[in-house]
Amino acid sequence: MILGRLPGPRQAPLLWASGVLSAALLAWMNLGFASRFTELTGVRTMPDLDIESTGEALLALKAVLETRPDAAELLRAVHLGPDLVLPAVLGLFLVLLMCRVAPGAGLYGRPAERLLPALLSLPIVYGLVDYAENIVSLMLFPPSTQLPETATLLAEALAWLTRLKFAALVVSGILVLRLAFGPKHHHE
């Protein structure tokens, strides 16, 4: 059981602090920024949260944000505020959690400890892709300006980076659950 393998906050302060901070940052982003962004843009979703967005839809959002500077500034504030810290903190939390639940766990008939370097690459990829997504978003949306061809490339890149970010995050979460609740490796 995952709770049986997790030490208390005093024994693993970095694990607990990164988990609590990740939850707080996610709550702040969703409650403090995402809902306000939707109000300011007329029911549009913040691009970081829209896994189904396309380059075309992001260019349409760019056009909306050019006419609504308060919404554009809110999006910029997310990237330069909570989303500046979240990828590192959430990535760290997932790495620490994987390291905690891997000992004794089995994955595809092998001890999870042997696969740990490969498994740890997923939360790291999540963090790096999230930062890349934030940079591309800052480059695409106002107050930034660019040539139409560049905007099209940035919008397509942003759509794919968002999908890749969520894929790495979801697979990391599934792996943590699989390691915690899945089959145990029996030493032979």
Task: Judge contact between 25 and 78, C-beta under 8 A.
Answer: no
- Mean pLDDT in residue range 26-49: 93
Q: Rounded to whole angstroms, how far apart are CA atoms 48 and 133? A: 8
- Mean pLDDT in residue range 32-58: 93
- Mean pLDDT in residue range 21-27: 96
Residue 104 φ/ψ, nearest 5 degrees: 85, -15
User: What residue type is assigned to position 101 of the chain?
Assistant: V
Q: Rounded to whole angstroms, how far apart are CA atoms 70 and 152? A: 23
Q: Rounded to whole angstroms, how far apart are CA atoms 36 and 184? A: 45
pLDDT band at 10 (very low <50, low <70, confident <90, very high): confident
% residues pLDDT > 70 (the chain): 95
Residue 1 pLDDT: 42
More confident site: 110 or 82: 82
More confident site: 110 or 61: 61
Indicate the average pLDDT of the chain.
92
Residue 93, CA atoms < 13 Å, CB-side half-sphere:
18
pLDDT in tens, 90-103: 999 999 999 998 88
